[in-house]
Structure 1
C-alpha cells in the first residue's frame, strides 16, 4: 500500500478502469485518455459473480482488447486495509491481488458516496431536475443525499481551486417530530439506541418502518412489508396509509436535506440520488418539499436561495470517477492508505 499521493498533479496511468460497486449492482467503464468518453460495459448483479476479480475478467477484460493499466474503484463500505469488505455484498476488494493477477500497475479505492460527490461537479445540467427555486453559486459547497439501501450523504467543498469530497455518516443524524401528525406517528417508529435517525425512515427498510408506524398510529392493518409494495399502492392510490407514507417520506427527506444545506453552507446545491428518489420523483410535490426544506428559521432566507436537484443520470458515480481519472488535480481526494502500486 502506498503512503498516499501528496502531489495533486500525479495521475493514474491510462487506460483507467473505473467501477461503481454497490451492494446489489456493479458498473464498469474504461477511460482511455483524458479526452475520450468512457467505454461502458453492461451493468451486472454482484450476486452473479463469485468475486470482483472474476467480474472484472469476464465483464471487462474478456469483452475488449483495451488493457487498463490502472483502476479506480468506488465501493459501498469502509476503504481501509488491504482486504476491503463491502456492505451488503459478498465481494472482498483485494487491490494487491488485482495488481498481481489482472495486470494493473495502480489501484485506488474510494467510498461510493465520494464518487457521488464528484459526480455533482461533473454532471451536465440536462441530468439535474430542479425542485423549486434557488440559484446555484458555481464554486460554492454542494451536498449529495441518497435514500436507497441506506441513507448516503456526502459533501463536496470548494477551496483553493479544488473540489474536496467529504464522505461521512450524515444519514445517521437525528430526525425528530415537528407537527401534530408527527407526534402521533413517531412513538410507533422503531428506534436504535432510543433514537430515530434519518436512516430509520429515509431508506428502503425505513419506508416500511414509517408505513407500519402510520398504520399503528391510526389503528389500521399493516398490509405491506416491502418498499416496492408501498410505493406501488401509493402511486395508484389504493392504500391511504401508503399514500401518506410516501408523502411524509418526501417531507422528512426535505427536512434532512435542509439540515445538510445548513451544515455545509451548500449554496452550490443539494443533489438527491438513490433508488428510492428515482422511484418517487413523479410524485414529489415541489411546493410541499420546498416548504419543509426552507423551514429552517432563522435561516429561511438562506434555504430559499439554495437550489435542490434530483440527479437523473442512471450512472452518475461513473461520471464522477471519470472526471477524477481524467483530471485528478481538479479534486482534492485523499489517497493516503487507499492507493496501491505494483512493486
Structure 2
C-alpha cells in the first residue's frame, strides 16, 4: 500500500529506474550508491500490453542482476493505486508490480519531476545555451519539453535540498497575439473547444500548426509527420513547413517565458527532449528569445534568464539515478507515491 513520508527510508539496491513516456519507455539498473546506471533498454510502449510486460522483456529476462526496488517516472499525474498515462494506454498498478515483478519497494514519479532532477544531475557539457545571462546558483528553475505531449516541471531550492514541482503545465491555454496568429489559430485543431500548449508544442502539435497554416493560405498540406516538417523547415525547402516551425518556436518561447515568470526562474529554463535537440538551429535564430523576453513589464528580468537545451540523450534516467543513489539531496515527496511489500 502507499506509505507516508515519515516512513521513508532509502531504497534497496539494485534499483530499477524507468522513464515511461507516451511513445518510448527507457529502463536501467543502478547497482549501488557509487555506480552509474547500466546500459539502458529502450522499448516502444505500443509493443507491450502493460508496463509489467515491458519490464520483464527489457530488464528481468536480460539482466543478470535482478532489481529489489524501483523508481519509475511516468508521463501523467500520479494519484491512487491505478495510474493511467496521459498519452499511452498503459495503466500503472504498483501493487500488482510488487507481486508480479519480485520487487519490495516502488516509487512512482511524474516524468518531468525526473527531468527536473536531471537539471541538477547533469554537467554543462550536456547543455547548449540559448541566450540570457549567468544563472543564479540556488534560484528557481523550469524544465519543459515538447515530445509526444508537452511536459512541464519546476525546481526550487529550499532547506538545502532541490525540490521538484510536478504539474500539468502543458495543458495551459495558448492563444494568438499577432495579426498572422489570428489568421492561423482558427484552423488549429482544438481539444474540447480550446487550444492548449499540447495542441501546438509537441510532435502532433507541429503537424497541427503546419495544417493550420496550409488552410489559412488555402494550399495543400503535403506533409504528415513531424520529422518531415522539421527537415523541410530547417532546410527552408517548403514555406509552409518553415512558417510552421517558426510558429512552433515562437509559441515555445512565449510559453517558456510565462513559466519563467511563474517560478522567477533566474536559475534557468531548460528545454528537454528529442524535438528541442533537433531544432537548436531554429531556436537560435532569434524568434525564440524575442518571444521569451516579450513580457512587459518584466522584459529586463526575462532578458537575464538563461535558456538551455539539454543535449544528454536520456536526461530523465540521469535524474532518477541521482535520486536513487542519494535521495536525501532531493526534496521528493513520496507520500501516496511509494508502495512496499
TM-score tier after normalising by the smaller chain length: over 0.9
What is the rounded CA distance, in whole Å, between the counterparts of 2:253 and 2:306 in structure 1?
A: 12
Give the secondary structure class of the aligned counterpart of 2:223: coil
Give the secondary structure class of the aligned counterpart of 2:5: coil
Alignment of 1:274-285 (within 5 A): 274-285=273-284
What is the rounded CA distance, in whole Å, between the counterparts of 2:18 and 2:98 in structure 1?
A: 15
Asked if the contact 2:140–2:266 (Cα under 8 Å) also holds between the matched residues in 1, the reply is yes
The aligned counterpart of 2:57 is: 58
Asked if the contact 1:131–1:286 (Cα under 8 Å) also holds between the matched residues in 2, the reply is no
Alignment of 1:41-56 (within 5 A): 41-56=40-55
Alignment of 1:165-314 (within 5 A): 165-314=164-313
Q: Which stretch shows the higher mean deviation, 311-320 or 182-191?
A: 182-191
Asked if the contact 1:132–1:287 (Cα under 8 Å) also holds between the matched residues in 2, the reply is no
What is the rounded CA distance, in whole Å, between the counterparts of 1:146 and 1:48 in structure 2?
A: 24
What is the rounded CA distance, in whole Å, between the counterparts of 1:286 and 1:239 in structure 2?
A: 18
Alignment of 1:63-142 (within 5 A): 63-142=62-141
1:240-266 deviation per Cα after TM superposition (whole angstroms, max 9, x unaligned):
111111112111101110010000000
Give the secondary structure class of the aligned counterpart of 1:325: helix
Give the secondary structure class of the aligned counterpart of 1:138: coil
The aligned counterpart of 1:4 is: 4
The aligned counterpart of 1:35 is: 34
Q: Which stretch shows the higher mean deviation, 89-98 or 22-31?
A: 89-98
Q: How far is the alpha carbon of 1:231 from its aligned partner?
A: 1.5
1:249-293 deviation per Cα after TM superposition (whole angstroms, max 9, x unaligned):
111101110010000000111010123222222332343321111
Q: Which stretch shows the higher mean deviation, 101-110 or 221-230?
A: 221-230
Aligned length: 341
Residues 114/193 of structure 1: CA separation in 2 closer, same or farther (3 Å cut): same
The aligned counterpart of 1:149 is: 148
Asked if the contact 1:69–1:106 (Cα under 8 Å) also holds between the matched residues in 2, the reply is yes
Q: How far is the alpha carbon of 1:193 from its aligned partner?
A: 4.7
Residues 286/329 of structure 1: CA separation in 2 closer, same or farther (3 Å cut): farther
What is the rounded CA distance, in whole Å, between the counterparts of 1:98 and 1:184 in structure 2?
A: 50
What is the rounded CA distance, in whole Å, between the counterparts of 1:28 and 1:172 in structure 2?
A: 27
Q: How far is the alpha carbon of 1:48 from its aligned partner?
A: 2.5
What is the rounded CA distance, in whole Å, between the counterparts of 1:218 and 1:92 in structure 2?
A: 42
Give the secondary structure class of the aligned counterpart of 2:162: strand
What is the rounded CA distance, in whole Å, between the counterparts of 2:119 and 2:325 in structure 1?
A: 16
The aligned counterpart of 2:160 is: 161
Residues 7/294 of structure 1: CA separation in 2 closer, same or farther (3 Å cut): farther
Q: How far is the alpha carbon of 1:152 from its aligned partner?
A: 1.0
Q: How far is the alpha carbon of 1:93 from its aligned partner?
A: 2.2
What is the rounded CA distance, in whole Å, between the counterparts of 1:97 and 1:192 in structure 2?
A: 33
Residues 175/51 of structure 1: CA separation in 2 closer, same or farther (3 Å cut): closer
Gaps of 5+ in 1: none
Give the secondary structure class of the aligned counterpart of 2:214: helix
The aligned counterpart of 2:339 is: 340
Report the TM-score, using the length of structure 1 for normalisation: 0.93
Give the secondary structure class of the aligned counterpart of 1:63: coil
What RMSD in Å do the two structures reach over aligned CA positions? 1.8
